[in-house]
Amino acid sequence: MYERFAATTLALALAAPAFPQVKVGMDAPTIAVDAQLNCPPFTSTADLKGAALLLEFWATW
């Protein structure tokens, strides 16, 4: 497990952006959702059709 983690970290460090940073003007990738709070249930951001969306990536720490 630790080895895998280390290898991934190394790969990330060497290969620079492993995933493309989504930029202005691009189509927004949809996100599948299984656990949520503070809103009526939805299973994917595609369910929020018609709304403007502000996605914020955050952590409790």
Contacts with other proteins, residue ranges (CB under 8 A)? 17-29, 31-42, 45, 47-60
CB of 6 to other proteins, least distance (A): 18
Q: Rank residues 10 and 36 by Cβ distance to other proteins and give the closer one.
A: 36
Buried residues in 11-36 as b, exposed as e (16+ CB within 10 A): eeeeeeeeeeeeeeeeeeeeeeeeee
Q: Rank residues 2 and 61 by Cβ distance to other proteins and give the closer one.
A: 61
Q: Rank residues 3 and 28 by Cβ distance to other proteins and give the closer one.
A: 28
Instruction: Mention every residue, 6+ apart, whose C-beta is less than 8 A from residue 18.
Output: 11, 12
